[in-house]
Amino acid sequence: MFYKTEKTKATFLRILVLLPAIVAALLVAQRAAGLEKRLEPQLQSIADTQSLSFDGREFVLKFKAENQSVPLFEYFLANESPSEWTELVDFRIEPKVPRANKPLDHAARTAKLFKATYPLMPFAMYKNDKTGEALLDFLILLPDKDGLEFNAFRFYAAGSDHRVLCFHYAKKLKGPSETKTYQDAKAEIVALRQKILPIIWQVPVYRP
């Protein structure tokens, strides 16, 4: 074999010496990647989910909008509809946002969006430091001023591209009235939060 210089020959020989180690390292990395893929839990697709159980009840897919900027899949109780409901759950596929695409970023933007419409809206945000997930919950006064709506959003990253997804629960409540005191209404809200927040953390992770 012809070499232009002794330096080139030496470089080539060093590559030959290192080649077995390089190949071995690549094979180890390939096996590790294959094992990781096999061990990775097979997440259920939102698009393939026609119904799901939440808080011991079955919710059925009755509305979806896949082609909008935030794809939405809404599930309702069997005897309720998108126009007449008391409780619902839904999935939202959040858009990617450069430099602010973590679950907590999306939770903060959602809170800001609702605060623009409901300035007095009380809300709280939480972060799971271990998983990076974020939870947002808030209470709004419905337009008819006769009722309240409790909302809880769980934001998490899933899939190979770490797309941020959101699982949302909402329930309409009766506000204070002649037959329902302010203290009773407040106690109902507190009890609902204490019940729902732990449950929403336990909902299985879905992928787009």
Tokens of 138: 């808030």
83 and 169 fall within a common domain: yes
Tokens encoding 203: 């909902």
Residues 67, 1 share a domain: no
Q: Determine the pLDDT at residue 28.
A: 46
- Do 102 and 185 lie in a common domain? yes
Count how many domains the chain has. 2
Do 83 and 185 belong together in one domain? yes
SS3 category, 75: strand
172 has which bridge partners?
Answer: 149
> pLDDT digit string (tens) for 157-191?
987 677 899 999 999 998 888 888 889 989 999 99
Quote the CA–CA distance of 195 and 183 in Å, as a whole number: 18
CB-CB neighbours of 74 under 10 Å: 20
Q: What's the pLDDT tens digit per position in 75-101?
A: 999 999 999 999 999 999 999 998 899
Q: Locate tokens 């002649």: which residue?
A: 178
pLDDT by residue (tens digit) across 21-68? 544 554 445 554 444 444 446 889 999 999 999 999 999 999 999 999
Looking at the fold, whether 116 and 77 belong to one and the same domain comes out as yes
Residues 58 and 142 in one domain: yes
The per-residue pLDDT for range 114-162, each reduced to its tens digit, is 999 999 999 999 999 999 999 999 999 987 767 999 999 999 998 767 7
Q: What is the CATH number of the domain that holds 111?
A: 3.40.1000
**Whether pLDDT at 7 is above 60:** no
Range of 4's domain? Answer: 1-40
Same domain, 114 and 149: yes
